[in-house]
Structure 1
Amino acid sequence: MISELAMYFSEDITLFLAPGVTGLLCFVSLSLLRRRGKLPPGPTPLPLLGNILQLGGGDIVTLLGKMREKYGDVFTIYLGSRPVVVVNGYDAVKEVYVDRADDFLGRGDTATFDTTCKNHGVAFTSDIDRWRELRRFSLSAMRDFGMGKKSIESCIIEESQCLVTKLKQTKGSFLDPKQFFNKVACNVIFSIVFGHRHDYEDTDLLDVVKTIGETFYIISSRWGQVFEMFPRIMTFIPGKHQQFLSNMQKLLQYVRKRVEKNKETLDPDNPRDYVDAFLIKMEKDKNNPNSVYNMEDLVNSTLHIFFAGVETTGSTLTYALLIFMKNPDVLGKVCEEIDRFIGQDRSPRMEDRNQMPFTDAVIHEIQRFIDLIPMGVPRKTTRDVEFRGYHLPKHTNIYPMITTVLKDPACFPYSNEFNPKNFLDENGEFRKNDGFMPLAAGKRNCMGKALARMEIFILIVTILQNFVLKPELSMRDLDLRPGVSGFGNLPKSYRLAFIPNN
């Protein structure tokens, strides 16, 4: 009797709910289509699920590239119920980044970071006024503590020599180079934000480097992509995405601990680093209820600075050595130029780069070819915008596809291959290229771009001065394709030996 009643009520409830659920789906579908009428064309989304059918079958960068072939340079996709306008090609992306920068200056929704940062910090805040003030302060403070100056160049040179010492201690054994490069990049950033470096075996440094690398990888994987589509649901579902959520909390806690350490020994008249400068500004602004100088913005801004700086530089250097081993003719010409202009007896300096056109071209081409942040970091319209014949309402999310700029044949004649001629003129001199924007462009570009440029040049030249690169695999088997492609294009793991050349 009880089972019959349960079955009866179950059927009754199902019959009662079915029209409601159907009506809700129809309403959502009509709402999507109405919003769609104002936006660029694109694949038809499912109610609530968006374009999961079109985006769930492979890496998102490749799938968006195929959609471009069908819908053109500007089209719309739905991540869940959230519409995103995808912008492709040099001309269209430049319009977003530079020509109409103020119209697209907002930070787009990035669920992977928004869930943790909660609109705080210089990189991922969606508040334009907050971003402007934090960016102005951060750039000023980072310059005060070395960025773009001789002092940080000396720091990078010192770090490069520490790296040489560590690599010589490996005695020509095969190893994964990324573990070393991330430590170097982390120490350079730490010297700016925390005032000092760590020994390479320091447990805090090892833990931070491991956590950042793991987090960046998961965010770039399909787990990160699915979380980006359905963050509210995925927060409660088990999977690898839970690891990056816990990792971000772990990193925030590490920064809080370091900030508290600074507070204990703070001398307002003698700031030692970025954190000290922020703490001093907090004290001066403590009576302003609208101040952006608070503990949450300090912690998040500090995390954003070293999270971005460590992984981008480490992955670029890791990719660079792989490319050199795959292209021994290019490697030979770079080594010849190093011998001619610097020699083996002194460390390289940034001023040397202007005398080394081929090396300069190769480093630019490495950054172009590896296409590290292929989708850019999302933007958002700051007002209603008419863009390329379409109406984009205020707060529309934008994906400026940097990959389509770096591979635009109108900018780069050898767009789909590694070729330094993309940055050389007919006389073999370095040639600037407006399409070179690996870390975005315009007002909201990467704050650490100049620092990364200095690190990459000095570290690459120092390594090639001191070592012969010996791959574990044959040249034919070296794979330049990324191991994961999403938020970032990250190199596949490989091993090489550093053989001292003297």
Structure 2
Amino acid sequence: MYCIALSNGHTWKQQRRFAVVTMRKLGVGKKGMEHQIEEEAQQLVEIFACAKGQPLDPSLPITNAVANVICAVTFGHRFSLEDEKFKKLSEGVDVAIKFVGSIFQVLYEMFPSILKHLPGPHKNAIAASNLLLSYAKEEIKKHKEQLSFHEPQDFMDFYLLQMEKSKNDPNSTFDEENLAQNIHDFFIAGTETTTTSLRWALVLLTNHPDVQDKVHKEIEDVFVSSQSISYQDLKKVPYTNAVIHEIQRSNYAFFFGAPRQCSEDVKLGGFLLPKGTLVIPDLRSVLLDPKRWETPKEFNPNHFLDKDGNFVTRKEFLPFGAGTRVCLGEQLARIELFIFLIKLLRKFRFQLPEGVKKLSQDPVMGLTFQPPPYKICAVPHSNSS
């Protein structure tokens, strides 16, 4: 089994350990990586500004900005939004994501021997997945030809260097197929989850202008004239921190957590789960538990604040999962959400288009629970430069 997310045993341990260490080496959680994210956030601000306060669909600009963060991490460079390869890459990610979790995927999983001979969305999804793998392999070839991995600057460099170090190890799982699959999964998981959370953020903040105004005031009071943003600044803005957490809690991106498999016999709630049993965690049951949250079905930042307005960590907050298989990109996602939202909310007040009373919050189900297509007005603040 290739990749990290769905592998087990020795392959998973080796690939996971390497990925965690490499992400640290690449600066996830450090100023270098934060600067790259801030650059993409600024590009997004400039795209929104071009709409001059008129209704715009933020989906594609957000997807492109987040995808370019993944490009910087994996390939070591960003793409121009006009780059044809980047457009195809984004389109491939979008097609693959829309297919996963759809009724067409369910039918394909049930009747693969029949559907593989018939036209349909499954053909487009397979083609999109193959496109992502093909592009990853192109980049692998370029990196190998340039010998850049001897002075590694990105995930691909570090992986190729590890392949060279492990070439005589019979137990090594480091090969080009695993690398290509990892890159494929980084794009699917890393782009979709953060993009979905940012899209929900704009829906919720537009529908709750009082919350949005309070976040903007806190940001202005704390950052004043400072242009640079650091993830460490999150500690200075407890209300904003609470809002970000509540966005992820109230509109959890997935229908359920990633499937897991029992590595040994275990008793749970009086039931025996034999070794090898497939377990699908219902994280929504925790994030929306009425016994744990005061208003579980409502968007309420106070879930993460004490009576004095200080941010409170909640053990029930599990959008990234828990344990040794917690989401590999958790830290990167947290940094992205913070920096993107700070940059956007400092510059704009997001408002409903004329004639629209409220943006729909009825989710559209796919790989993730996405908000329905919408348009908003990004109106520059009078004090923004």
TM-score (norm 2): 0.94
2:320 alignment partner in structure 1: 439
Q: Contact conserved, 1:121 with 1:300, CA < 8 A, in 2?
A: yes
464-473 vs 133-142, which moves further? 464-473
Aligned-partner SS, 1:377: coil
Alpha-carbon distance in 1 for matches of 2:254, 2:145: 38
CA pair 341-243 structure 1, distance change in 2 beyond 3 A: same
In structure 2, C-alpha distance between the alignment counterparts of 1:382 and 1:229, rounded to whole Å: 26
* Counterpart check, 1:141 vs 2:22: yes
1:347 paired residue number: 228
- 1:472 matched to which residue of 2? 353
Alignment CA distance shift 1:394-1:236 (3 Å): farther
Query: Matches of 1:473 and 1:399 in 2, distance apart?
Result: 43
1:305 is aligned to 2:186:
yes
| Other structure's SS at 1:148 match | coil
Q: Residue 19 of structure 1 aligns with which residue?
A: none
Whether 1:404 and 2:290 are equivalent positions in the alignment is no
| 2: CA distance, partners of 1:139 / 1:292 | 16
- Contact 2:150–2:157 (8 Å) recurs in 1: no
- Change in CA separation of 1:261 and 1:421 when aligned onto 2, cut-off 3 Å: same
Shift of 1:471: 2.5
2: CA distance, partners of 1:402 / 1:231: 29
Contact 2:259 2:278 (8 Å CA) reproduced: yes
1:496 aligned partner, one-letter code? I
Q: For residue 132 of structure 1, what is the aligned residue in structure 2?
A: 13
Cα shift at 1:173: 3.3
Matched residues in 2 for 1:437 and 1:121: separation?
23
Change (3 A) 1:228 1:420: farther
Q: How far does residue 283 in structure 1 lie from its aligned partner after superposition? A: 1.5
Q: Is the 8 A contact 1:220 1:489 kept in 2?
A: no
Identical positions, percent: 35
Aligned to 1:263, the other structure's residue is in SS state helix
Residue of structure 1 equivalent to 2:217: 336
Aligned with residue 250 of structure 2, among 350, 364, 369: 369
Give, in angstroms, the shift of residue 345 of structure 1: 4.6
Distance 2:112 2:6 in 1: 16
Question: 266, 272, 287: which one pairs with 1:391?
Answer: 272
Matches of 1:132 and 1:231 in 2, distance apart? 31
- Change in CA separation of 1:120 and 1:128 when aligned onto 2, cut-off 3 Å: same
Q: Hey, what's the Cα distance between the residues in 2 that align with 1:252 and 1:271? A: 22
Closer/same/farther in 2, CA of residues 183 and 305 from structure 1, 3 Å limit: same
* Equivalent position SS for 1:256: helix
Indicate whether 1:494 and 2:385 are aligned: no
Deviation at 1:479, TM superposition (A): 0.5
Quote the offset at 1:229 in angstroms.
4.3
Q: Give the Å deviation of 1:268.
A: 4.5
**What per-residue deviation string (whole Å, max 9, x for no partner) do you get for residues 30-67 of structure 1?**
xxxxxxxxxxxxxxxxxxxxxxxxxxxxxxxxxxxxxx
Q: Is the 8 A contact 1:212 1:307 kept in 2?
A: yes
Partner secondary structure for residue 379 of structure 2: strand
With over 3 angstroms needed to count, the CA separation of the structure-2 counterparts of 1:233 and 1:381, relative to structure 1, is: farther
Name the TM-score, length of structure 1 as normaliser. Answer: 0.73
* 1:20-59 alignment, distance < 5 Å: none
* Cα 1:488/1:367, change in 2 over 3 Å: same
CA contact (8 A) 1:411 1:434 kept: no
For the pair 1:165 / 2:46, whether they are aligned, the reply is yes
Structure label with greater radius of gyration: 1
* Closer, same or farther: CA 141–227 of 1 in aligned 2, 3 Å: same
Q: CA deviation at 1:394?
A: 2.1
Give, in angstroms, the shift of residue 460 of structure 1.
0.5
Deviating more after overlay: 391-400 vs 468-477? 468-477
2:5 paired residue among 101, 123, 131: 123
Q: Is the 8 A contact 2:31 2:230 kept in 1?
A: no
Give, in whole Å, the separation in 2 of the partners of 1:493 and 1:355. Answer: 33
DSSP-derived class of the 1:411 partner? coil
Question: For the structure 1 residues 430 and 233, does the alpha-carbon distance in structure 2 shift closer, same or farther, using more than 3 Å as the test?
Answer: farther
What amino acid is the match of 1:489?
F
Distance 1:471 1:354, change over 3 A: same
Shift of 1:174: 2.3
Provide the rounded CA distance (Å) in 2 between the counterparts of 1:488 and 1:170: 28
Deviation of 1:256 (Å): 0.7
235-244 or 459-468, larger mean C-alpha shift: 235-244
Structure 1 residues 81-230: aligned runs within 5 Å: 119-125=1-7, 127-230=8-111
Work out the CA distance in 2 between the residues paired with 1:268 and 1:330: 47
CA displacement, residues 337-377 of structure 1 (integer Å, 9 cap, x when unaligned): 11111135523321221111111100000001111012111
Contact 1:325 1:475 in 2 (8 A): no
The residue type equivalent to 1:495 in the other structure is K
Flag structure 2 segments of 5+ consecutive residues without an equivalent.
Answer: none
Task: Answer yes or no: is the 8 Å Cα contact 1:347–1:462 preserved in 2.
Answer: no
Give the Cα separation in 1 of the matches to 2:88 and 2:81: 11
Partner Cα separation in structure 2 for residue 450 and residue 337 of structure 1: 23
Sort the Cα spacing of 1:373 and 1:166 in 2 relative to 1 into closer, same or farther, 3 A.
same
SS of the residue 1:497 aligns to? strand
Distance in 1, Cα, partners of 2:285 & 2:296: 10
Return the offset for 1:417.
Answer: 0.9
